[in-house]
A and B are shown apart, each in its own frame.
Chain A
C-alpha cells in the first residue's frame, strides 16, 4: 500500500486551514466574520490562510455588500472537497497504522 504520509494534503496540514475547510465542507457558504467567531482567529491570520486556500482553488470567494458593509462569503470547491476527503482518509489511515 502507498505510504499514507504521501497522501496527506500539504495545504491542509496546517490546522487552521483544515478547520476552515471542515466548516465549509459542512455548510453551503460561510462568511468571514462568522468564521472568525467560530474559529476564534485573528483577522490577519484568518485572511492569510483563506488567501492560501483560494490560491489553491480549494475555496471560492464571493464579495458583496450587505447594508453597505462589505460581506465576504466562502464556499468550498469540488477540488477542495476532494482534497479534504483524501486528507481525512490519510489521517485515519495514519492513526490506524500507528496503533498497531
Chain B
C-alpha cells in the first residue's frame, strides 16, 4: 500500500468513526411511516370519541364526562406512543443487525436521554394542563414538546430530523392560537409529517 492510500484510509476511518460514534444510524425510515399511520388511526378514534353523538355516555355531570373523555384520549395517545416506540425499536434492531452494529450502544443511550428530557417535561406539563382543564392546549403542547425533543435528538440522528422538529413546533404553535383544530394539528403533525418524513428518509437511507 503506498503512503497516499494509507493516509486516505486514515481519513476515511476518522470520518466514519466520528459519524458512527455520534449518530444513531440504525433508525429506519419505515418506523416513521408506521408511527404516522398509528397516529392517524389514533386520531380517527379520538375524533369519534369527541364528536360522535352515538358514543354511549351515561354521565350527565359534565365534569365527569370531561374526565372520561380526557382519560380515553390519554389512553389513545399512550397506545400510539407505545406501539410507535415498539415498532421503531424492532425495525432499528433489524437494521442494526444488517449493518453489523449493536442497537443498544453508547450512541443510542445518549439519544434516549436526549429525547427523554423534553418528552418527560412535556408529558408532565400536558398532564397539568389536563388536570387544570386546559384541554384545548394539550394537543398543541404535545406537538411543541415533541418538536423540541426532535431538535434535541437530531444531533444523534440524521440531520434532517431537525427540520421535522421545527415543523412540529410550528404546527403546535399555530394550533395553540386556533382552538378547536387540535385534532387536525395532531393528524397533520404526528400522522402526515411522520409519513412524509419517514418516506423521504426511507428512500434516502434505507433503499
Using a CB–CB cutoff of 8 Å, the interface residues on chain A facing chain B are 15, 18-19, 22-23, 25-27, 30-31, 34, 37-39, 88, 91-92, 94-95, 98-99
Interface flags, B104-128, vs A, CB<8A=1, else 0: 0110000000000000000000000
Contacts of A94 in B (CB 8 A): 3-4, 7
Interface string of B15-47 (1 = CB under 8 A from A): 001111110000000000000000000000000
Interface residues of B (CB under 8 A from A): 3-4, 7-8, 10-11, 13-14, 17-22, 102, 105-106
Distance between Cα atoms of A90 and B11 in the complex (Å): 11
CA distance in complex: A45, B20 (Å): 21
Query: Which of B10, B13, B21 sits near A26, CB closer than 8 Å?
Result: B21
**A23, B17: Cβ atoms under 8 Å?**
yes
- Complex CA distance for A38 and B20, rounded to whole angstroms: 8
* Identity of the chain A residue whose Cβ is nearest the Cβ of B7 in the assembled complex: A91
A88:B106 contact, CB within 8 angstroms: no
Contact of B18 with A25 in the complex, beta carbons under 8 Å? yes
Judge whether B106 and A18 touch: CB under 8 Å. Answer: no
Contacts of A18 in B (CB 8 A): 10, 13-14
Query: How far, in Å, is B140 (CB) from chain A's closest CB?
Result: 33
Q: Which of B8, B10, B14, B21 contacts A27 (CB 8 A)?
A: B21
Given contacts A34-B105, A34-B106, contact A91 B10 (CB under 8 A): yes
Pair A31/B11 contact, Cβ less than 8 Å: no
**Residue B11 contacts which of A34, A37, A88 (CB distance < 8 angstroms)?**
A88
Q: Which residues of B contact A25 (CB under 8 A)?
A: 18
| Chain A residues with CB under 8 A of B4 | 94-95, 98-99
Contact A88 B14 (CB under 8 A): yes
Bound CA span A30–B22, Å: 11
